[in-house]
Structures are given as C-alpha cells and as structure tokens.
Amino acid sequence: MKLVTLEDLPHGFLDASARTIADLLPGPTLLHLDGARHPALFVSVLLHGDESTGLVAVQEVLRRHAGRTLPRALSVFVGNVRAARAGVRHLPDQRDFNRVWPGGDASDSVEGALMRDVIAAMRARGVFASIDVHNNSGLNPRYACVNRTGAPFLQLARLFSRTVVWFTEPRGVQSLAFADLCPAVTIECGRPGHAEGESHAADFLDAVLCLSEFPAHPPAPHDLDLFHTEAIVKVPPEISLAFGAGAADLALREDLDHLNFSELAPGTPFGRWRRGAAEPLHVTVGDDGRNRVWEWFEAREHELTLRRTAMPAMLTRSEAAIRQDCLCYLMVRFEADAAPGPE
C-alpha cells in the first residue's frame, strides 16, 4: 500500500462523495494545499470508511475559500477510500486505519507503514495542529478527544466543544501519534450524514485555519467539561448478542445508547446475561489486557448491572460497530490540572 501525495486539488474533489472519492484517488492520499500562513493544519478524514463528515467538512471549507488563498496551508489525509466505496468501517482484509499509527500494536502492519509515511511527511514539512474527524453510530453529543492536557491541546479541543474526553488507550490512534508533533484532537461529530455535524465540523476547521497561535493558558474551568476514559468495554467474540428480549448470551437493553454521557449510578442495568456462558464483557483498564469485568459490573440473578459510578460514551445499537470496535468507553469527570502524564 503506497501513499499518494498531491500538491493540487484533483478535479471533481469538491463534488465527490465518500462512496465515489475512490474514483478520483487511487488509494490513501495526502493532499497539500498552500496558504497564507505556515506550517499547515493537518486534517485526516475517512480513516473509517463509513464516517463521511470529515470529507464533507473539508469540501465545505474549500468552497468557502474558493478563488482566494487559504488563511493557512492545509494538508488533508484521505484515508480508507476502498472501505468508503463500500460504506464500511474497514474491509475484511484491512486493519482499522485508526489503530495502526506509530505507538500501537499494529504499527508494523502494511497499514502501519502507510501511517509512518504520513507522520514522516508532516514532520518534515512542519504542522500547526492536527484534527482527526470521526462519526459514531450511537446517540452521542458532538465532543472532542485529546491525549494530552496541555493548554494548546485543551484550547484546540474547546474550540469544537466544551465537552472534552482525555484518553490514553487504545494506542495506535491518529491523535496520539500526532501529539508528539503538535496540538492534536479527535472530533466526534455524531452520526454521518447529519447536516448539523457537518456544518459544526466545517466551522471548526475554518476557525483553526484562521488562528495565528494557541493561547498559552488553558481554558477556564467553567468553560470546559473534561472527562477521563477509565475503561474500554468490549463484547467477546464468543458471546452472542441481541437487544431487548432477543435470545442471546447477552441481551442488552433496548435504549442502551440513550445512556451516553449520563452519569450512571451503581445498579444501573445494562442487559441480561445467560449464566453459564462465558464472561459477558471484556473490560480493560490501561494496557495490561486483564479482564476487569467484575470490578465494573455485577450479575444480579440474570441482570447485568453497573457496579460503580461511571459515564459511558460511544454506546451503540449497531452490532457491527460493537464487534469491530467496542461496546463503550467508561469515563469519570476530571480536572485538567489533576491529569498526570505529558502535556
């Protein structure tokens, strides 16, 4: 898999959809566009083929500046165009494009070599900030994610939303790799195809393009709701899954995705577990891989309930999304000045 690099906007780019962008680009493509300021803003889109908002937002920004110089140089990485043609997160013969960046377990894969080339190209050119644009399949607010809590990272995230999630796992994600080069953020824009999310993302990209620098001070505490991802919850592949009254090892509650970004008390039900089956969930904290399911959940009769206070994100009713990624992330509210690790 070879990285394509272009210095001009391909004819027809502004009118292409996620499904048709592969007609213009032969594969993953790094597009460099000049602007009044340097270094460039880096934006990655379509790392997941079924998440179209990033491409639509970049097209909208370029239309707004058509016929004039961009306020800042812009480098756009258009990722998994093959999966985008099929309308899926990634194809069966591919690794997840947002789990193979330097620092992750799969960075030695074919896809990982591609991402190393992207990082090397942007390191050589210099980069002002990095924005990775995503959608999700559940009922979530639009929010930003960072991997470091220094002032430039939080200021960048706050420009998109007052709701900010700080996470250090999983490894191999784009924002974590770019955090070594510049302020980096992932923006979650809700479900694909929604005009509100597309417009919100475009306004954010445009605002960052117009910045000359980031404030040296962090956002005021009352201007930011910061959450820390404590655990990642997955459904083991051997566990059959259903929603509502379905017959399965694990039958999740029908309204599960309505719990996103709600602070849940111990005892909150998640679904029904058929005892005798394997452990219903795999819950990891950090990178040791140990299953901590019974630290976070408990089984009361056949009901699977939350054991401790937590706030979930990314809960979805899409079994495909659950199988390919996770059931949810469990978060706790955090203060920026209490966050350990590099800034």
Could you give the number of structural domains in the chain? 2
Q: Say whether both 108 and 211 belong to one domain.
A: yes
DSSP 52: -
Q: What is the domain range of residue 324?
A: 230-331
Q: Give the pLDDT confidence score for residue 221 in this predicted structure.
A: 86
- Indicate whether 203 and 242 sit together in one domain: no
Which one of 223, 238, 262 terminates a domain?
223
Confidence at residue 343, expressed as pLDDT on a 0 to 100 scale: 56
Tens-place pLDDT, residues 124-136? 999 999 999 999 9
Does residue 234 form part of some domain? yes
Q: Which of 195, 200, 183 is nearest to 133 (CA)?
A: 200
- 264/285 same-domain check: yes
Structure tokens belonging to residue 56: 């639509």
Do residue 29 and residue 177 come from a single domain?
A: yes
Last residue of one domain, picked from the residues 170, 196, 223: 223
Count Cβ neighbours within 10 Å for each residue of 15-33 and write b for 16 or more, e otherwise: ebebeebbebbeebbbbbb
pLDDT tens figures, 195-211: 999 999 999 999 999 99
> Containing H/E element for 129?
strand 127-134
Burial class (CB within 10 angstroms; exposed 0-12, middle 13-18, buried 19+) of 285: middle
pTM exceeding 0.85: yes
Helix, strand, or coil (residue 312):
strand
pLDDT tens sequence across 4-21: 999 999 999 999 999 999
- In this structure, the answer to whether residues 183 and 239 fall within a common structural domain is no
